Structure 1
Amino acid sequence: MSVLVIGGGPIGLAAAIEARLAGFSVTVVEPRYLEPGGIDKACGEGLMPGALPLLERLGVHPEGMPLRGVSYRSASRHVDHLFENGDGLGVRRTTLQTALAERAAELGVVTMPGRAHRIEQDDSGVSVTLAAPSGITPDVLRADWVLGCDGLHSVVRREIGLNTAINRTSRARRRFGFRQHFAVAPWSELIEVHWTPSVEAYVTPVSPTVTGIALLGPPGTDFLAEIAKVPELAIRLLGAAPASALRGAGPFHTRARKPSEGRVLLVGDASGYVDAITGEGLRLGFEQARVAVANVTAGTPRGYDSDWRRVTRDFRALTNGLVSVANGPLRSAIVPLAQRLPRVYGSVVERLAR
């Protein structure tokens, strides 16, 4: 039995490893497979504690910095919560990508450059036509199952007819992510989330000498201008040299009508995403990869839809609620409320950290 994984980022590679461990022959198709320095993406780079056992079962152990908890901060207040059941991990996206790629290769996963263009399926399998320059006959790959792990703007989701239009309210709340690293030693073992009137700034230590800063904000956000509006960050980064190029991603709010169609299962951001505000996208993607392969192994692809809803339920509820508050008149009250209600704040963090 064969599995074709479309998308070779961390979630695609995790899905490929899961499938190999289950005994499938696996091919990963990724257009940026030969990108110098590895595949990178704008993200907070903080793995919640619940993500680490999922990586452990895959045999993947990336190097990074321990994350002891989360700190919500505003200009005059802050509230900290230490994880109750073990640390998270701050790890460069490229470091995680490399560790997953090496494990996949060790297990015999075949990786090839390419971009899915057309997907057709029947009762016995799925045919994927790869994009090719004009005048060149495209490659057509055949597999028993396809896992679509190609991100927010998924071609797989579109090709199998699972895209859902975003309504006007959702469009008005569009948010984007931006990330850059700086050559400055981490000053905390907590994920700091600095709340300003318009953005959230996430600070994640990723090595003994490098700190990552990620922003979530509206279209047109000026990264450096927003950093300058947070005195605590501006002072910390004064004179610090950039350690990476500025990257952007988004908009984040994407939907799928359902997570699967026939022999094609959507995993990670391709299956629908609300916002990066809770910082647990990778943990969810790893968990989705696990249950997707479990259902393919059992020959019960329809079971994936209910499993997907189960593993994402807390995320969807908490993220929708937090994004609604963050985009409304109560935004400035988030940190003061968290400080006044530390048990509530801590319980929310723990639910997301699982």
Structure 2
Amino acid sequence: MTTLAASSEADDILSASRSGRGRIVAGVPADVEVIVVGGGPGGSATAALLAEMGHEVLILDKARFPRHKACSEYINPGGVAVLERLGAMAEIDALGPHRMAAMRVFAPGGRSFLADYDGVEAGRTALGLSRYRLDHLLLRRAAAAGATVVEGAHVRGLLIEGGVVRGVEVTIDGTRQTIRARLVVGADGRHSVVTRALGIDASPSVLEQTGLVAHYRGVTGLDRFGEMHVGRGGYGGLAPLEDGLTNVAFVSPARRVAARDGGTLAYFEAGIASLPRMAGRLAGATMEGTVRGIGPMAHRATRVAGDGYLLVGDAASFLDPFTGEGIYAALRAAELAAPVASAALRRGEVTVRSLVPYGAARRRVFTAKGAVCWIVQGFIHQPPLMDYVTRRLDERAALGRQLASVLGNIGPAAPALSPLFLARLLRP
């Protein structure tokens, strides 16, 4: 049976009651099989999969949904494929996401190349959909699958006994309490309480970037494409969303944001103005809401699983939003984690040994793409090199399609790391 914590959102209540599978509960269980900390895409997808496998799952999130979140709000073609496998696409399509057949990438000197997903495989597209709607939908789906959802639940730390994670310490409605679990899933983002409590943060200091995002209405010239604009002091992104909105992002070194003279809005607008083609797209457009920020963004945990816990989404690893795989990686990690966790729970052995297959699966799926992302970071932080590579990709269509396949998580990333590919890309 689904149990859904009391929420101010009427449609949460309606979706639970209409399904016939849920009920509103005032209390919170003191002992459950699985706790998922964080109700974003990775947490909700993991919870839904485990609930569908017959496990008792409790999702705790300090926010109340729907809520806005600083994010590029871009789901690459690989992420769309995961949502299709999860059976969520019909509901997502009903929200009116903007489909993008390609991303156009502009180098500092003005040259561009088209990462054409539809050209790699006919019909493949990325989606632009606000986290306000995406996260709320995925959380409702987790509840419909049987998970208990408690919003406004601020996890403060972990219950650790004999080196094994046994639950969480959480504040709900001003009351601090302990909830025990056989497995705790950390899905609480880059600034994860779970990873901090375990002492396994290892965020790289070489790429401390801060991202600022806002929604604009009236952005012109995008239609079937999104855009990335690389400058000499940062880069910007444009992702069309539902209802005629566009996600506008500017990413720059965290030290520059910290040392700014004026406010966040002034810094954001100056950053956009430093990218003339991007600024041109915004001529006549109006901002809706406020500028939201997050940083430093790069994060990595030294371990993704251990005795009594595992990590998914940004809590496990995140580099930079330029390559647009954050939501994909969170959803794909849920697919990898759920069967391993379920098998461990059924054996009654939720240990580092029983969760080893999850780490192995992550290495198989994510390592090569991660290496490509680091190479891309090298390009965008060296403007002359970015200009050179962009021109090569524009002139050599086969290379452009191969890189589009990798960036969109359509095909394997390993071929883009081969000496042959790099030689063809870099030779004059």
Q: 1:51 to 1:281 in 2, by over 3 A?
A: same
Distance in 1 (CA, whole Å) between partners of 2:52 and 2:394 is 45
Is residue 59 of structure 1 aligned with residue 87 of structure 2?
yes
Partner of 2:423: none
The one-letter amino acid paired with 1:316 is G
Equivalent residues of 1:186, 1:209 under 8 A apart: no
Distance in 2 (CA, whole Å) between partners of 1:274 and 1:81 is 20
Partner of 1:116: 155
* SS in structure 2 at match of 1:171: coil
Is residue 226 of structure 1 aligned with residue 254 of structure 2?
no
Partner of 1:350: 405
Distance in 2 (CA, whole Å) between partners of 1:108 and 1:5 is 13
Q: 1:346 to 1:215 in 2, by over 3 A?
A: farther
Distance in 2 (CA, whole Å) between partners of 1:140 and 1:3 is 14
Residues 1-354 of structure 1: matches in 2 within 5 Å? 2-32=33-63, 34=64, 38-61=66-89, 62=92, 63=95, 64-74=97-107, 75-83=109-117, 84-85=120-121, 86-112=124-150, 113-121=152-160, 126-131=166-171, 138-164=176-202, 166=203, 170-184=204-218, 187-188=221-222, 189-219=224-254, 220-221=256-257, 222-299=267-344, 300-328=354-382, 330-353=385-408, 354=410
Q: For residue 303 of structure 1, report the CA deviation from its aligned partner.
A: 1.3
Q: 1:52 to 1:137 in 2, by over 3 A?
A: closer
Q: For residue 266 of structure 1, report the CA deviation from its aligned partner.
A: 0.7
Equivalent residues of 1:125, 1:142 under 8 A apart: no
Partner of 2:7: none
Identify the structure with the greater helix proportion. 2
The one-letter amino acid paired with 1:180 is A
Moved more, 178-187 or 82-91: 178-187
Of structures 1 and 2, the larger Rg is shown by: 2
Distance in 2 (CA, whole Å) between partners of 1:210 and 1:145 is 39
Q: For residue 327 of structure 1, report the CA deviation from its aligned partner.
A: 2.3
Moved more, 246-255 or 68-77: 68-77
CA RMSD after TM alignment: 2.2
1:135-160 superposed Cα distances (whole Å, 9 cap, x missing partner) = x8621111121110010011101212
Q: How many residues align?
A: 345
1:220-244 superposed Cα distances (whole Å, 9 cap, x missing partner) = 3521112122332323222321123
Equivalent residues of 1:186, 1:205 under 8 A apart: no
Q: For residue 125 of structure 1, report the CA deviation from its aligned partner.
A: 6.8
Distance in 2 (CA, whole Å) between partners of 1:261 and 1:111 is 24
Per the normalisation by structure 1, the TM-score is 0.90
Equivalent residues of 1:182, 1:212 under 8 A apart: yes
Q: For residue 186 of structure 1, report the CA deviation from its aligned partner.
A: 5.1
Equivalent residues of 1:9, 1:39 under 8 A apart: no
Distance in 2 (CA, whole Å) between partners of 1:68 and 1:289 is 26
Distance in 1 (CA, whole Å) between partners of 2:336 and 2:242 is 32
Distance in 1 (CA, whole Å) between partners of 2:287 and 2:59 is 33
* SS in structure 2 at match of 1:173: coil
Distance in 2 (CA, whole Å) between partners of 1:206 and 1:322 is 25
Structure 2 stretches lacking a partner, 5+ long: 1-31, 258-266, 345-353, 411-428
Equivalent pairs: percent with the same residue? 27
Structure 1 stretches lacking a partner, 5+ long: none
Distance in 2 (CA, whole Å) between partners of 1:9 and 1:125 is 22
Q: For residue 57 of structure 1, report the CA deviation from its aligned partner.
A: 2.8
